[in-house]
Amino acid sequence: MTYEKFEITDRTTRNAGKVGQTRVYVSPSQNESVMDHLINRHNRPWQDWKPVVRQALLDHGIEPKTISWNCHAGCTMCPCSGGFILDRYYGPDIWITI
């Protein structure tokens, strides 16, 4: 498994305008309908994605100490937008297509 697209966003702030730890969101490359996304968002194969995400980050000069999956990465109120959080790395969010 490899990544197809790596995109750094402009978003760097979290709650109350504070700069937060970078989030890495992963999108599967196959075309996924909105309904499929809603059904699958709680059952993502994040353990399979983690080495691919680490390699993509290294390829772009980003070397986090720890990459942790968190189902609340994008929304602290519900587990609707899971993603990886880069420990002790503060910067813009990243989107990777696998």
Handedness of CA 25, 5, 50, 86 (dihedral sign): negative
Which residue has tokens 């994040």?
A: 46
Q: How high is the pLDDT of residue 95?
A: 92
Q: How high is the pLDDT of residue 16?
A: 60
Query: Is the model's pLDDT at 97 over the cut of 80?
Result: yes
Query: Is the model's pLDDT at 61 over the cut of 90?
Result: yes
Query: Is the model's pLDDT at 55 over the cut of 90?
Result: yes
- Would you state the structure tokens that stand for residue 3, as one six-digit string? 């990544």
Helix (H) or strand (E) holding 84: strand 83-90
Can you give the pTM of this predicted structure? 0.81
Query: Is the model's pLDDT at 17 over the cut of 70?
Result: no
Provide the residue ranges of all domains of the chain, joining segments of one domain with +.
5-14+27-97
